[in-house]
Amino acid sequence: MASKLIHATKFEAANPLEVSLIEAFQSVEHQLRPPFPLKVASSTSDYLDFNRAILYGILCEPHSAHIHMKHLYGKVTDGYNFFTTTIINLVNDLYPRLLQSVKLQLLWITNEMIHVSSIGIDGLPVALMRQIIGGDLTEGNIWLCFELLKLLMNKWDCLLDENHFILTSALYTFLRLLADHYRYNDPNLSVLKKMEIDFCVRMLNEQFGLCITIGRDLIRLLQDLVHIPEFQLIWKSLILNPSNFKVDTFSDISQIYMKRTSSRYHLLRIPPEMETNLRFLLTHVNLGSQNRYQAWFMRKFLSNPNRDSLVTDIIRFVCCGHHPTVEIIRSDILPRWAIIGWLLKSCTKKYHVEASAKLALFYDWLFFDERFDNIMNIEPAVLLMVNSIPQYIDMTNSLLEFLLLVVDNYDVERSGLIRERVTMVFNMLVAKGVIRSIDVFVRCDGLSPNLKESFLKLLMRRKPQSVDNQGISMPDLHLQVSPQRS
């Protein structure tokens, strides 16, 4: 018999989650029709099966969804926690395979769970956001964007009162998606682009205090949208008139620079299936044996030319969202820097994608503060440069050149702050033993002489102790660099 939940082939093994929902529904179906029995589930297992059965009924019997939901209202005893958790698991495990009618019901249930403020509701819209694939212009992907934006706008007041993380997650998600969508003149995207702009601009203008809790990656995303008129006005206020945002504690963009972005946001643009495969590569595949796995990953997730911008999202996730254990670091497991090097090589034909990917790799270097930031976020970039020297010196030259260019040009008004932070990073990487010495660059014959000279100027530049405009004391950095051998 054909599944009422998912698209499944005849000889495909049954999905355990689907089976649990079907079995629960079949076991208590007689209790799900009016008149409902008055008794409450007598055991924990009965209560969990009741929740599973109700969920299956809502998904597969749209005509009875309101009745099933009222039945749930009358018997729920855990604040909808198990019910909501089961929906999240369904989205994470099965969303791409769900029937369209089931997807419609999922959005309806999400609306209902927000309405009743269910325990764990933060995770449900976020799970759905993760199913939107960057650079994917297929009908189903665009439909999910539309539906989530409508849901967010309809539930604006409710979310503003109780679920700030849903709103900031949506801002991060749709700023990132808008950068992809705005590149295309497809008339089918015009309404969606307007909805994305309206939502993001409303968030930034009305709830900027919430927006800046995202941290420095908020600025990175906004920079990709400065060519859009509505965002030009926001950017102008951000740089020249911070008081326009009416946030008492915000007076300068550097305050956002200095705030680390939580890995929860980086995970938003990585679909669960992609995350599973990336973590497998980084925990089970040995260096030297990765080629066939990488080829499969490329075919699965990056073969569509519109998806090239995903490289930036993946690099940000690998740097900030996946930190290997000490045991893995000391083993022969494929290191993060090798994955990133492979990803960078895959996007060299498109300059804007390559530049965005390199910025994603170095972004935390520019504002690093060891009181709040994690050295694991900056480690992949330096290890990629160092380990590329023997055979792939062009990679080392390219990355170091990009870093020095960014130091002086990313934000000219605050280039002094950025220079000090990057110098601090190199100093700390040596002190922590990530690399043995700066000499690995200074004495490298393969580095361009002009590049090496600029690098040495950066490291040897020392400034007296200063205070930035948040009152954060900037240390006087002492980085000893041996003179270059003649």
Q: Per-residue confidence at 404, pLDDT binned at 50, 70, 90?
A: very high
What is the reported pLDDT for 67? 92
Q: What is the DSSP letter of 245?
A: G
Instruction: Enumerate helices (H) and strands (E) in the chain, giving the number of each.
Output: 26, 2
What is the reported pLDDT for 38? 61
Tell me how crowded residue 162 is: count the other CB atoms within 10 A of its CB: 12
Worst-scoring range by mean pLDDT, 90-104, 285-299, 321-335, 459-473?
459-473
Computed over every residue of the chain, the mean pLDDT equals 90
Given the structure tokens 């950025």, which residue do they identify?
418
260 token code pair: 């680390």
- Look at residue 207 and tell me whether its pLDDT is greater than 90: yes
When pLDDT is averaged across residues 274-294 and rounded to a whole number, the result is 96
When pLDDT is averaged across residues 136-158 and rounded to a whole number, the result is 95
Q: What is the pLDDT of residues 332-365, one digit of tens each?
A: 999 999 999 999 998 877 788 899 999 999 999 9
342 token code pair: 């492979």
135 token code pair: 């650079």
- Look at residue 40 and tell me whether its pLDDT is greater than 70: no
ω into residue 380 within 30 of 0, thus cis?
no
∠ CA 107-112-117, nearest 5°, is 125
- Look at residue 382 and tell me whether its pLDDT is greater than 80: yes
Q: How far apart are CA 410 and CA 404, in angstroms?
A: 10
What is the reported pLDDT for 381? 98
Q: How far apart are CA 121 and CA 123, in angstroms?
A: 5
What is the reported pLDDT for 351? 82
What is the reported pLDDT for 469? 38
Comparison of pLDDT for 303 and 12, the residue scoring more: 303
311 token code pair: 């490289």
What is the reported pLDDT for 441? 93
- Counting residues of the chain whose pLDDT is more than 70, the rounded percentage is 92
Q: Per-residue confidence at 25, pLDDT binned at 50, 70, 90?
A: very high
Exposed (0-12), middle (13-18) or buried (19+): which is 196, by Cβ within 10 Å? buried
When pLDDT is averaged across residues 222-233 and rounded to a whole number, the result is 94
Comparison of pLDDT for 372 and 479, the residue scoring more: 372
Strand, helix or coil for residue 249: coil
Q: Are the C-beta atoms of residues 467 and 426 closer than 8 Å to each other?
A: no
68 token code pair: 């099933």
CB neighbour burial string for 43-79, b if at least 16 within 10 angstroms, e if fewer: eeeebbbbbbbbbbbbbbeeeebebbbebbeebbeee
- Look at residue 98 and tell me whether its pLDDT is greater than 50: yes
Residue type at position 433 = G
Q: Are the C-beta atoms of residues 26 and 73 closer than 8 Å to each other?
A: no
